[in-house]
Amino acid sequence: MPESDGWEVLEMTTRTQPPPRVIIITARGNEDTGRIAKARGAWAYVEKPYIIDKIKEILKSVYN
């Protein structure tokens, strides 16, 4: 994203009421990225290349 990064977008979305459920998808993650994403308010975290079944599982949990 040319003007902001994903962390900034996550921060902006968590300020809305009610905060949306955000899924972080990244190709540049490491061991700590998922932990950091959740600590900053992400609902879930997925690294690329991701398995579509994992995405479906996460989306189902949004409605439970």
pLDDT in tens, the chain (64 residues): 567 788 888 888 888 888 888 888 888 877 788 899 999 989 888 888 777 888 888 888 876 6
Q: Yes or no: say if 38 and 45 are a contact pair by the CB < 8 Å rule.
A: yes
Residue 15 phi, psi (nearest 5) = -85, -15
Can you give the residue ranges of every domain in the chain? 6-62
Tell me the pTM. 0.68
Q: 60 with 25: CB under 8 angstroms?
A: no
Angle at CA 24, nearest 5°, toward 33 and 8?
A: 85
Assess contact for 29 and 45: CB atoms under 8 A: yes
